[in-house]
Amino acid sequence: MAEQATATTDAPVRALAWTGDSLHLLDQRRLPAEEAWIRADSAAEVAAAIRDMVVRGAPAIGIAAAYGIALAARRGDDLAAATAALAAARPTAVNLAWALARLQRCVDAGAGPDAIVAEAQAIHAEDVDINRRIGAAGAALLPGAGAVMTHCNTGALATGGHGTALGVVRSAWAADRLDEVWAGETRPWLQGARLTAWELQREGIPVRLFVEGAAAWLMQRGSVQAVIVGADRVAANGDVANKIGTCGLAMLAREHGIPFIVAAPVSTVDVATADGASIPVEQRPADEVLACAGQAIAPAGVAAWNPVFDITPARFVDALVTERGVIRDPGPDAIAGLVDTPAAAP
Amino acid sequence: MAEQATATTDAPVRALAWTGDSLHLLDQRRLPAEEAWIRADSAAEVAAAIRDMVVRGAPAIGIAAAYGIALAARRGDDLAAATAALAAARPTAVNLAWALARLQRCVDAGAGPDAIVAEAQAIHAEDVDINRRIGAAGAALLPGAGAVMTHCNTGALATGGHGTALGVVRSAWAADRLDEVWAGETRPWLQGARLTAWELQREGIPVRLFVEGAAAWLMQRGSVQAVIVGADRVAANGDVANKIGTCGLAMLAREHGIPFIVAAPVSTVDVATADGASIPVEQRPADEVLACAGQAIAPAGVAAWNPVFDITPARFVDALVTERGVIRDPGPDAIAGLVDTPAAAP
């Protein structure tokens, strides 16, 4: 991967850019201190960038993987090997498998490199459109004033653009239906502090950070009118895999009578996965918990547990917002209907 | 304050040591990287050490303040001014006011410097004894096997020795009634990662760290058999002020049917405070959330909310363990009886 510094600009926030013969990825590990871009010229380089968390966020991972196949097709590389490498890069997000399956259908239909590139670009463009629909549907669901709490980063940086849960925040802010955002810092990777605060600050949307431990106290004080998060996978029964910390927020929101909303594209729904217990939850090295911002914070040799995701039982989800609208209290029937339903006309 | 390095030894973990004419405080801000001791020669230096979190933990703060008065008495300093300076050092912990009131009664009774020093030493020695009683009572309350979750640091470092909630852990481990401890890292000050993991590792008690966001998922997986925490103040109705993050753990424990236990000396109970709403909750600078281990983790200028404590409503407390035994489902009557009851014979 080639690395190149790019000066801060007033351009919209974006995680990736396709140049026609390479994929440029904003190195999210280095935000907010630095806006550095990495160039990937092959599927293997894209897979490494996904694995190493240069790019993260389920929809953005899916788009990056699609461009990875496009690069392999352009280079004449083995497409089956490229697909296998990309599929293995991260285990939990279903969008990755979804994007690769869509490209595979294109390949199976005999598409050449140009058509494969076009398919990847279509996935990217559709994602932005999908997020704007999610944003509009979700914004209408918010109380219309007050503050929302969010977790991790589900914004432009996590998607093709606009964002899922943070897309709802953007749309609600644009519609003057929101006063403030409470962003959890999201240890151990600090996506809330590093990425969400950066995106929102850049767009002038008022944001306040808090440590995860403060979530319940914020709710108890009446400071939060809704909790909105993204999803890495939604099972057939409505269980939701998302960033570690999500299921606790869902339970605390229920305890306080605060709506808990999940915003995600239909591609995140995996009807082949019966329930949350069937979702593989990625474990990452203990070192990520034993350090913070590159500094050791615990005694050497101490053990730590570092699951990347947790499973929120469907009964704690008050609403699932997709590009096809809002499902209240999502359960198996509504989830099945969602996947079978064709998209409504714009 | 004079600073002096002390080599790591196999001595028991302790937060403070009285030498007869000065108070030595282990600088807890520098653990676990370094065991450095600070010497305080006056009440003003002790007050500064409390304010700057060289020493922390409600009981340890009370003991340090008592020695601060002892130093003032030895030096012939103005005791009213010393008391005022110490009382203002931290607002939430009631042990601080309790210790100062006890020293005041001693002064009012005409005690000279030696008697005042002896009273401070008595408070210190009694705290260790109290913690051993809390430990024994709490250990009997634990399931007898499995893992307990704890938060922040309530160990020898937070007290005169042994610890409150962590004293229960120590006693349970010694009685072979415990397999493992799950310690939340406790952002923003990371007392769990820096202090609790250090204490437990040093004593050979198995400990695993987790980020606060992972607490609910740990409970959902059935990995936790009890949650045990300390308290900075217990109100007359049983509401508990403790480290930010506590009330969320209490609610999540209830959701999962896991006992939530508060361990604290009777001196933490403040019957003059009707309920949690009357407890002042200290707010600290946003900078502590915007940085981790001294490194900036968020964009410059972003806002953050940094309450040090939260209030756990009494209804979420399954048991309150003091040196006088166990109160199940603590409410106003039991709390009043606790304070009125003389200590049982050893």
Q: For the segment B67-77, what is each residue's pLDDT rounded down to a tens digit?
A: 999 999 999 99
Q: In what order do the strands lie in the sheet with B147-150?
A: A303-304, B207-210, B180-184, B147-150, B226-229, B260-263, B319-322, B325-328
How do residues B187-222 score in pLDDT, each as one tens digit?
999 999 999 999 999 999 999 999 999 999 999 999
Q: What is the pLDDT of residue A195?
A: 97
pLDDT at B308 over 70: yes
CA atoms within 13 A on the CB side of B106: 25
Q: Tell me whether domains B2-128 and B130-340 share a fold.
A: no
What is the overall mean pLDDT for chain A? 93
**How far is CA B132 from its chain centroid?**
15
How do residues A244-270 score in pLDDT, each as one tens digit?
999 999 999 999 999 999 999 998 999
Tell me which residue in B184, B298, B303 faces A194 most closely, judged by beta carbons.
Answer: B298
Neighbours of A326 (CB within 10 A): 16
Can you give the residue ranges of every domain in chain B?
2-128, 130-340
Q: Name the minimum distance, in Å, from the CA of A85 to any CA of chain B.
A: 29
Q: Which residues of B touch A201 (CB under 8 A)?
A: 299, 301-302
- Span of A270-284, B145-159, B332-346 with lowest mean pLDDT: B332-346
What 3-state class would DSSP assign to B285? coil
Tell me which residue in B197, B218, B304 faces A298 most closely, judged by beta carbons.
Answer: B197
pLDDT at A197 over 80: yes
Q: In what order do the strands lie in the sheet with B16-18?
A: B2-5, B36-40, B23-26, B16-18
Mean pLDDT computed over B87-96: 86
Q: For an interface test with A, which of B30, B209, B252 has the most A Cβ atoms less than 10 Å from its Cβ?
A: B209
Q: What is the pLDDT of residue A91?
A: 76
**Catalytic pick among B127, B232, B270, B318:** B232
**A32 interfaces chain B, CB cutoff of 8 Å:** yes
Q: What is the pLDDT of residue B339?
A: 86
How do residues B3-27 score in pLDDT, each as one tens digit?
554 444 455 799 999 999 999 999 9
Q: What is the pLDDT of residue A346?
A: 43
Give the residue from chain A lying closest to B186, CA to CA: A213
pLDDT at A53 over 50: yes
Q: Pick the closest to residue B260 from B292, B228, B232 (CA basis).
A: B228
**B205 interfaces chain A, CB cutoff of 8 Å:** no
Tell me which residue in A188, A294, A297 faces B194 most closely, judged by beta carbons.
Answer: A297
Neighbours of B294 (CB within 10 A): 8
With bands split at pLDDT 50, 70 and 90, how would you rate the model's confidence at B181? very high
Give the residue from chain A lying closest to B311, CA to CA: A217
With bands split at pLDDT 50, 70 and 90, how would you rate the model's confidence at B47? very high
pLDDT at B327 over 70: yes
Q: Name the minimum distance, in Å, from the CA of B328 to any CA of chain A.
A: 22
Residues of chain B numbered 235-274 and touching chain A (CB < 8 Å): 243-245, 247-248, 251-252, 255
Q: Which structure tokens are listed for A229?
A: 């998060």
Axis crossing angle, helix A113-141 with helix A58-75, rounded to the nearest 10: 170
CATH topology of domain B130-340: Rossmann fold (3.40.50)
Q: Which structure tokens are listed for B81?
A: 């001014």
Tell me which residue in A201, A218, A302 faces B302 most closely, judged by beta carbons.
Answer: A201
Residues A163, A196: contact at Cβ < 8 Å? no
Q: Which structure tokens are listed for A256?
A: 């306080």
Percent of chain A, pLDDT > 70? 95
pTM for the full predicted model: 0.92
Give the residue from chain A lying closest to B295, CA to CA: A293
Mean pLDDT computed over A37-61: 96
Q: Which structure tokens are listed for A217?
A: 């106290």
**B315 interfaces chain A, CB cutoff of 8 Å:** no
Q: How far apart are CA A186 and CA A166, in angstroms?
A: 15
Q: Which residues of B touch A289 (CB under 8 A)?
A: 185, 193, 209-211
Q: Which residues of B touch A252 (CB under 8 A)?
A: 248, 251-252
Q: Which structure tokens are listed for A37?
A: 């871009």
**A346 interfaces chain B, CB cutoff of 8 Å:** no
Burial class (CB in 10 A: 0-12, 13-18, 19+), B345: exposed
Residues of chain B numbered 119-158 and touching chain A (CB < 8 Å): 151
pLDDT at B312 over 50: yes
Do the Cβ atoms of A211 and B212 come within 8 Å?
yes
Neighbours of B110 (CB within 10 A): 7
β-bridge pairing B295-296 and B226-229: unpaired
Q: Which structure tokens are listed for B338?
A: 């606790």
Q: How far apart are CA B308 and CA A201, in angstroms?
A: 25
Q: What is the pLDDT of residue B2?
A: 55
Assess whether A41 carries a catalytic annotation.
Answer: no
Burial class (CB in 10 A: 0-12, 13-18, 19+), A109: exposed
**A296 interfaces chain B, CB cutoff of 8 Å:** yes
Question: DSSP assignment of B319-335, as one string?
Answer: EEEETTEEEES--HHHH
Q: What is the pLDDT of residue A8?
A: 43
What is each CA distance from A71 to A40, A64, A77, A82, A248, in whole angstroms?
Answer: 9, 10, 8, 9, 40
Bridge partners (DSSP) of residue B322 are B325
CA atoms within 13 A on the CB side of B342: 2
Q: What is the pLDDT of residue B343?
A: 53
Mean pLDDT computed over A164-171: 98
**B285 interfaces chain A, CB cutoff of 8 Å:** no
Axis crossing angle, helix A113-141 with helix A94-108, rounded to the nearest 10: 140
Do the Cβ atoms of A289 and B251 come within 8 Å?
no
Class of domain A2-128: mainly alpha
Q: Which residues of B touch A248 (CB under 8 A)?
A: 213, 215-217, 248, 252
Residues A154, A169: contact at Cβ < 8 Å? no
- Amino acid identity, residue A46? V
**A204 interfaces chain B, CB cutoff of 8 Å:** no
How do residues B249-300 score in pLDDT, each as one tens digit?
999 999 999 999 999 999 999 999 999 999 988 899 999 999 998 889 999 9
What 3-state class would DSSP assign to B292? strand
Q: How far apart are CA A33 and CA B298, in angstroms?
A: 8
Q: What is the pLDDT of residue A9?
A: 44
Q: Which helix (H) or strand (E) holds A118?
A: helix A113-141
Q: Which structure tokens are listed for B126?
A: 């009694």
Neighbours of B199 (CB within 10 A): 26
How do residues A283-324 score in pLDDT, each as one tens digit?
999 999 999 988 899 999 999 999 999 999 999 999 999 999
